[in-house]
Amino acid sequence: MLLAAVLAGGARAEPRHRIVSLNLCTDQLLLQLVPARDIAGLSPLARDCAYSVMCVEARSVPTIRATAEAVVAARPDLVLGGRYASVTALMAARQAGMPVELFDPVERLVDVPDQIVAVANAAGVPARGRELAGAFSSRLTAYPVSAGGGAVPSAVIYAANGFVTRAESLADDMLVRAGFRNAADGLDGRHALAVPLESLLTRPPDLLIVARSDVGTSMAQAMLDHPALRDAFPAPHRLSLPDRMWLCGLPQTLDTLDRLIAARKALEISR
């Protein structure tokens, strides 16, 4: 018994070989940190190209349903999950004596390297984690600090059903870093999450970023194609970014930042 505990404790630095991840963000980090054979299961969303930038890579790895039964039966040596979803499955895994690590969603770009390192440490591949996090940090610091001077253009991230992204989110931090002001909070105090088309058009931001998943057809997404939006936000004032590019703090998040900065430069040229 004691020996087992010592072995388990000592094995913490050793790479894990049956890792289960129940969260889209840890799914995508794992795929970049550990070899595919060490992953016992990812959440099904990881294979969905609407939400995952690693969807192609995820197809070579098994998926697992986020139910208590499926997780315990997979006999993982590490379970990764988010703080808010699949609560029952994670609790069952913990009760079955499996090591469970929970991660909060990243809300700032500077926190992404920390999360990469934390996931890597949990998976027992700290060296690979430091490598990936270091690359991210050096790429991030290479961006010019968004200059004050002159008017900062405003932007609104507009998603299905008229939902906007407000402050204290990764997407908001990316907007600021790309040199925009998030205008969502100035739009309409009455509506907590969604902003009606009319309010958006009355106080139009310099850039409308349409965030869409493009899965199936729905009225919620059809409103993003409303001709009123098309007329009010012609080419340089409109950027379409798929959902998968915002959802998680990943090395690829900086590609999204590149797109935002390119959109800002296009705006400045058109002025």
Partner 1 sequence: MIDRRDYPLIAALALSVLVMLVLSLAWGDSAVSLPSALRDLMAGRHSVGAIIVGQLRLPRAILGVSIGAALGLCGAVMQGYLRNPLADPGLLGVSGGAALGAVLVFYTGLAGVSALLLPAGGLAGALLAVVLLLGLVGQGGTLVLLLAGAALSSFAAALTAMAMNLMPSPYAAYEVMRWVMGSLTDRTLTDVSISLPGTVAGCLLMLTTARALDALALGDEVAESMGFRLRGLLGIQTRVVVGAAVAVGSCVAVSGAIGFVGLVVPHLLRPLTGHQPSRLLLPSALGGALLLLVADAAVRLLSGATEIQIGVLTALIGAPVFFHRVIAMRRSRA
Residues of the shown chain interacting with partner 1 in the complex, contacts defined by CB under 8 A: 160-161, 188, 190-194, 196-199, 201-202, 204, 213, 215-221, 223, 226-228, 231-232
Residue 34 backbone zone (phi > 0: left; psi -120 to 50: alpha; other: beta): beta
CA distances from 127 to 120, 216, 250 (A): 8, 41, 17
Give the number of other CB atoms < 10 A from CB of residue 241: 17
The tokens describing 32, both together, are 């970049």
Distance CA 98, CA 77 (A): 6
Taking the least distance from each CB to partner 1, the nearer of 170 and 224 is 224
Smallest distance, Å, CB 257 to partner 1? 26
Smallest distance, Å, CB 101 to partner 1? 27
Smallest distance, Å, CB 218 to partner 1? 4
Taking the least distance from each CB to partner 1, the nearer of 110 and 201 is 201
Rounded to 10 degrees, the C-alpha dihedral 68/70/74/78 comes to: -40
Taking the least distance from each CB to partner 1, the nearer of 11 and 193 is 193
Handedness of CA 190, 106, 25, 32 (dihedral sign): positive
Strand, coil or helix: 79:
strand
The tokens describing 3, both together, are 């020996």
Smallest distance, Å, CB 66 to partner 1? 16
Smallest distance, Å, CB 15 to partner 1? 35
Smallest distance, Å, CB 164 to partner 1? 13
Distance CA 165, CA 146 (A): 20
Distance CA 261, CA 269 (A): 12
Taking the least distance from each CB to partner 1, the nearer of 22 and 200 is 200
Taking the least distance from each CB to partner 1, the nearer of 131 and 243 is 243
Taking the least distance from each CB to partner 1, the nearer of 74 and 223 is 223
Name the pairing type of β-strands 207-212 and 154-159: parallel
Taking the least distance from each CB to partner 1, the nearer of 168 and 231 is 231
The alpha carbons of the chain give a radius of gyration, in whole angstroms, of: 21
Task: Compute the half-sphere exposure of residue 267: CA atoms within 13 Å on the CB side of its CA.
Answer: 23
Smallest distance, Å, CB 155 to partner 1? 17
